[in-house]
Amino acid sequence: MYSILHVETSNFYRTLIEKICSDIGAEYSFAKNLDDSLNVLKSRKIDLIITAIELEDSTGEDLILKINDSPYKNIPVVVITGTDSDEYRTRMFSLGIVDYISKKSGNEEIRSAILAYMREDNIFQKMAELKIAVCDDSKMDRYIMERIFTMAGIPNVEYYESGDDLLTSDKEYDIYLIDMVLKDMIGNYVIMKLRERGSEAVIIAISGVAHYKTISNTLNIGANDYIAKPFNNELLLSRIKTNAKNYILLNEVKQLAITDVLTSLYNRRHTMERLEDEIEKSKRYENPLSVMMIDVDHFKRINDEFGHLSGDVVLKKIAESITKTLRDFDIVGRFGGEEFLVILPNTSIDDAYSAAERIRKNVESLKLSKNDIALSVSIGVCQWSGDDLKNLLSEADRLLYSAKSNGRNRTER
Ligand code: GH3
Ligand code: MG
Ligand code: MG
């Protein structure tokens, strides 16, 4: 949980910030003076410090100086104060605070500032899950970077001393930090190779050579950013953070673009794209490929009897059940309202039929808690026989409709 230490003497602001924290789901700790603040910092993990200027026994400035010289120096500090002048602001920012909010700002402004820091922290947590590769032939620089990452609490970093080691390892990373002058090749070659392979990772070039032509060329061939050596720890980290943030947000958007909101399955467009890919793969490797078209039986009745919202719950449950029944590499998409398309790579019609029967039986045994709605699906399943995508889908559809006309809760092949 995101945790805030508030250092303040006014009860009014104490109540205000405490209320904001409880609204946004952050943990609130309180201190009136320097010693209490340090005790709180010692006793629990704090993600953000908010301090006033006038404290019981000292000033916010004393507190910041004390923190800057302690193990807590990386915790962001925000000053909220009634004392406001350009000179004072400048002095506070020069001590490394991240924000300066005037007490004249409305509650909304204070609230959204705190919320923004909380989101930032959330991104940082996600960043800790990213895989990072450092490729640098200098042992010293690898060592420095290792220290920076360790101190920042970023765990998944691997180090390579040559471009060849990196390119021949079959590992993929989310972020690459690549020294431009390696012993065995130039960094640009490594970047080009990574992009050629289709990597959409963040690539940050690092170099002591800072000629504008070199830099612009490196960015043109596919680096996202460039950092000059010798680098400043904090600056290196924030450049990585900024790039990681864009990368995380972009991936979230990409994920949203292929996902069906209700069921979290792939949406129709993405399912079709995947089917095209799988048909291509089957052609190339001559593997069998099968598909299923699944449709919920009498779904209209479920909506009519129990309401649209219960209908939605049913769809989610069925989607979950289908996914659970299949293997990880099978592809499940929501094709229409209550219709699902399943792609089964490397699967013959016999195996696909057995899988379909498992799905059918699992759905049949699903129970919706209070109403005991009887659920079933009909399934058309067929193997790709060299036809194009359209014919494959109409064949699956035709089989689905004969399952319907033959009594529903059936699989036809
Ligand atoms: P059959 O056994 O022949 O498939 O009958 P059915 O009632 O399932 O088929 P029909 O195509 O007549 O009705 C499908 C219904 O699914 C109609 C539509 O309102 C409902 N539906 C489509 N999308 C959603 C959705 O997202 N949520 C809910 N609750 N209902 C949906
Ligand atoms: Mg139906
Ligand atoms: Mg239907």
Q: 211, exposed or middle or buried, with CB in 10 Å at 0-12, 13-18, 19+?
A: exposed
**Mean pLDDT along residues 171-176:** 96
* Cis bond upstream, residue 230 (ω within 30): yes
Distance CA 403, CA 256 (A): 33
Would you give the DSSP letter of residue 186?
B
What is the fold, at CATH topology level, of the domain defined by 3-126?
Answer: Rossmann fold (3.40.50)
With bands split at pLDDT 50, 70 and 90, how would you rate the model's confidence at 102? confident
Q: Give distance in angstroms: CA of 316 to centre of ligand 1.
A: 13
Distance CA 165, CA 190 (A): 11
Give first-to-last CA distance, the chain, whole Å: 52
Q: Which of 15-19, 101-105, 128-132, 400-404 has the lowest mean pLDDT?
A: 101-105
Ligand nearest to the CA of 301: 1
Ligand nearest to the CA of 260: 1
Strand partners, 379: 294, 411
- The string of pLDDT tens digits covering residues 352-410 is 999 999 999 999 999 775 667 789 999 999 999 998 999 999 999 999 999 999 999 99
Whether the per-residue pLDDT at 127 is higher than 90: the answer is no
Position 358 scores a pLDDT of 98
Position 253 scores a pLDDT of 95
Q: How many CB atoms lie within 10 A of CB 13?
A: 18
**Mean pLDDT along residues 147-153:** 87
CB-defined site of ligand 1, < 6 Å: 262, 295-300, 303, 308, 311-312, 315, 337-338, 404, 408
Q: What is the mean pLDDT of the chain?
A: 93
Q: Give distance in angstroms: CA of 15 to centre of ligand 2.
A: 55
Position 104 scores a pLDDT of 82
Whether the per-residue pLDDT at 229 is higher than 70: the answer is yes
3-126 and 132-257 agree in CATH topology:
yes
Whether the per-residue pLDDT at 183 is higher than 80: the answer is yes
**Mean pLDDT along residues 223-228:** 94
Q: Give distance in angstroms: CA of 33 to centre of ligand 1.
A: 63
Whether the per-residue pLDDT at 327 is higher than 90: the answer is yes
Strands (DSSP E) found in 189-278: 202-207, 225-228
With bands split at pLDDT 50, 70 and 90, how would you rate the model's confidence at 296? very high
Query: Domain residues of the chain, as ranges?
Result: 3-126, 132-257, 268-412
Tell me the H-state helices in 286-380.
299-306, 308-325, 349-364
> Beta strand 289-296 with 339-345: parallel, antiparallel or unpaired?
antiparallel
Distance CA 347, CA 280 (A): 15
- The string of pLDDT tens digits covering residues 72-94 is 998 999 999 887 788 888 999 99
Position 371 scores a pLDDT of 63
What is the fold, at CATH topology level, of the domain defined by 268-412?
Answer: Alpha-Beta Plaits (3.30.70)
Position 214 scores a pLDDT of 87
Position 57 scores a pLDDT of 86
- The string of pLDDT tens digits covering residues 7-60 is 999 999 999 999 999 999 999 999 999 999 999 999 999 999 999 998 988 999
**Mean pLDDT along residues 150-176:** 93
Whether the per-residue pLDDT at 230 is higher than 90: the answer is no
Q: Which of 41-45, 122-126, 295-299, 319-323 has the lowest mean pLDDT?
A: 122-126
Position 207 scores a pLDDT of 87
Position 128 scores a pLDDT of 87
- 132-257: which CATH number, 3.40.1260.10, 3.30.70.260, 3.30.200.20, 3.40.50.2300? 3.40.50.2300
Counting from 1 in the atom list of ligand 1, the atom nearest the Cα of 311 is 29
Annotate 345-358 with DSSP letters as a single string.
Answer: ET--HHHHHHHHHH
